[in-house]
């Protein structure tokens, strides 16, 4: 029987929800790894809605669970219903929705608050010593909830212009966590906390390299599960 993995989404679309390529990559690698997957999202209103064609705010309201259902092909549950006891691991793809809807990092940085159901989910898996996988911006969730943990969001300097959000590494360090520099095709494993992270679109890289990096994260999560 395959490992049971919960995947937590934050909407649909890079600028206000989950990054679609990252979510898809995680699901493909989980499928290849023989995992049994269930998808969740919080039943809350999005912080904002962005017109992805124009890159500008849209004057409308959308629900995170409803939008995430697009990625889940309709097969999704409210995050409030997730029970860590029923799973072996949990994975959080990235996208601005993580920093806007799952927490307030997009507005408050390291002083952000984390959604109550996201926080309780992370705490439950961590307490049960079950692995947590995060990519792109989502490692900040672990940095905020688990002071002292180790994560990567890529590099701590904008190497060759490929890591434009490198200052995130400094904010993670200010939270008392260790940032470990990794390339896009690598992941970092915090063995003590069973937290696996990879930078994904925090690096300006070809899509196949991002896909492969997420693959290493998923593989390490399944090994720990």
Which CATH number does the domain 4-224 belong to among 3.40.630.180, 3.40.50.880, 1.10.3720.10, 3.90.79.10? Answer: 3.40.50.880
Task: Copy the structure tokens of residue 81.
Answer: 């219903």
151 close to 189: Cβ distance less than 8 angstroms: no
Angle at 105 between CA 128 and CA 111, to 5 degrees: 85
Place of tokens 């943990």: 149
Contacts of 77 (CB under 8 A, 6+ apart): 38, 39, 40
Task: Copy the structure tokens of residue 138.
Answer: 């989502």
One pLDDT digit (tens) per residue for the chain, 225 residues? 799 999 999 999 999 999 999 999 999 999 999 999 999 999 999 999 999 999 999 999 999 999 999 999 999 999 999 999 999 999 999 999 999 999 999 999 999 999 999 999 999 999 999 999 999 999 999 999 999 999 999 999 999 999 999 999 999 999 999 999 999 999 999 999 999 999 999 999 999 999 999 999 999 999 999
Query: Is the whole-model pTM more than 0.85?
Result: yes
Q: Which of 136, 149, 177, 203 is catalytic?
A: 136
H or E segment to which residue 165 belongs? none
135 is annotated as an active-site residue: no
Task: Copy the structure tokens of residue 48.
Answer: 């904002």
């Amino acid at each position: 029987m395959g490992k049971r993995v919960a995947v937590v989404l934050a909407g649909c679309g890079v600028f206000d929800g989950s990054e679609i390529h990252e979510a898809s990559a995680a699901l493909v690698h989980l499928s290849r790894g023989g995992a049994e997957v269930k998808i969740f999202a919080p039943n809350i209103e999005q912080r904002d809605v962005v017109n992805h064609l124009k890159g500008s705010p849209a004057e409308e309201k959308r629900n995170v669970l409803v939008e995430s259902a697009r990625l889940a092909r309709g097969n999704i549950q409210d995050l409030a219903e997730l029970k860590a006891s029923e799973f072996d691991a949990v994975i959080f793809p990235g996208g601005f929705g993580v920093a806007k809807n799952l927490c307030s990092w997009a507005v408050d940085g390291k002083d952000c608050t984390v959604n109550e159901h996201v926080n309780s989910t992370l705490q439950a898996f961590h307490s049960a010593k079950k692995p947590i996988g995060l990519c792109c911006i989502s490692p900040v969730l672990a940095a905020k909830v688990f002071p002292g943990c180790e994560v990567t969001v890529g590099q701590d300097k904008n190497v060759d212009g490929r890591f434009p959000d490198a200052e995130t590494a400094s904010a993670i360090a200010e939270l008392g966590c260790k940032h470990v520099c990794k390339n896009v095709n690598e992941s970092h494993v915090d063995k003590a906390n069973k937290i696996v992270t990879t930078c994904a679109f925090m690096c300006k890289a070809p899509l196949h390299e991002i896909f492969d990096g997420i693959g290493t994260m998923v593989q390490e999560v399944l090994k720990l599960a």
